């Protein structure tokens, strides 16, 4: 138990970084899966609300922009763990939690759905959603583990 308490943040960091970094290939290369999710599902949904283009290439929430934030969160988390810098870990976990909260929201409350059904009719069986939920839990756990850092930033502390 003592080992887990001392090193558990590495397991959480590794999981978040793995999920975020492995998705970068898809986001940065314009893979058909990513194009389908961002441009085929999310952007048309946003357009019905008057926000067309926000998920398209160059949009505020395009795949590449989301990927950049996932990369930054991963770098902060890994650097924070490697350098024993708790502030970097808190920043990375907070950024990761924000990014992944958006992903979970869009899975739950848009036509994207929990199980992403591709244009060819195949389904991911909810794998992307499950990974997102795991990242959310890992980032929240990291923030809990490092709560002495961010609680010190609160007024009156």
Tens-digit pLDDT profile for residues 87-133: 999 999 999 999 999 999 999 999 999 999 877 888 999 999 999 99
Is 23 a member of any domain?
yes
Query: How many helices and strands in the chain, by DSSP H and E?
Result: 7, 0
Single pTM value for the model: 0.93
Helix (H, G, I), strand (E, B) or coil at 123: strand
The yes-or-no verdict on residue 5 having pLDDT over 70 is no
Is 155 a member of any domain?
no
**How far is CA 68 from each of CA 21, 59, 96, 137, rounded to the nearest angstrom?**
10, 13, 11, 21
Is 20 a member of any domain?
yes
Is 47 a member of any domain?
yes
Question: In total, how many domains does the chain have?
Answer: 1
Domain that holds residue 43: 2-150
Is 30 a member of any domain?
yes
Percent of the chain with pLDDT over 90: 86
Is 156 a member of any domain?
no
pLDDT of residue 122: 86
User: What's the pLDDT band for 148 if we cut at 50, 70, 90?
Assistant: very high
Is 157 a member of any domain?
no
pLDDT of residue 120: 82
The yes-or-no verdict on residue 81 having pLDDT over 70 is yes
Residue 22 CA, chain-centre distance (Å), reads 12
User: What's the pLDDT band for 4 if we cut at 50, 70, 90?
Assistant: low
Residue that has been written with the tokens 């958006």 in this structure: 102
């Amino acid at each position: 138990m003592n080992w887990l308490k001392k090193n558990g943040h590495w397991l959480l960091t590794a999981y978040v970084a793995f999920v975020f970094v492995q998705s970068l290939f898809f986001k940065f290369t314009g893979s058909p899966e990513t194009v389908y999710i961002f441009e085929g599902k999310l952007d048309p949904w946003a357009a019905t609300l008057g926000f067309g283009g926000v998920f398209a290439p160059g949009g505020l929430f395009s795949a590449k922009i989301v990927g950049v934030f996932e990369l930054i969160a991963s770098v902060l988390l890994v650097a924070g763990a490697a350098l024993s810098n708790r502030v970097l870990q808190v920043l990375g976990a907070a950024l990761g939690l924000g990014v992944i909260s958006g992903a979970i929201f869009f899975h739950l409350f848009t036509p994207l759905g929990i199980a992403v059904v591709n244009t060819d009719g195949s389904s991911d069986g909810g794998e992307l959603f499950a990974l997102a939920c795991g990242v959310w839990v890992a980032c929240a756990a990291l923030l809990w583990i490092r709560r002495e850092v961010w609680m010190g930033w609160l007024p009156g502390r």
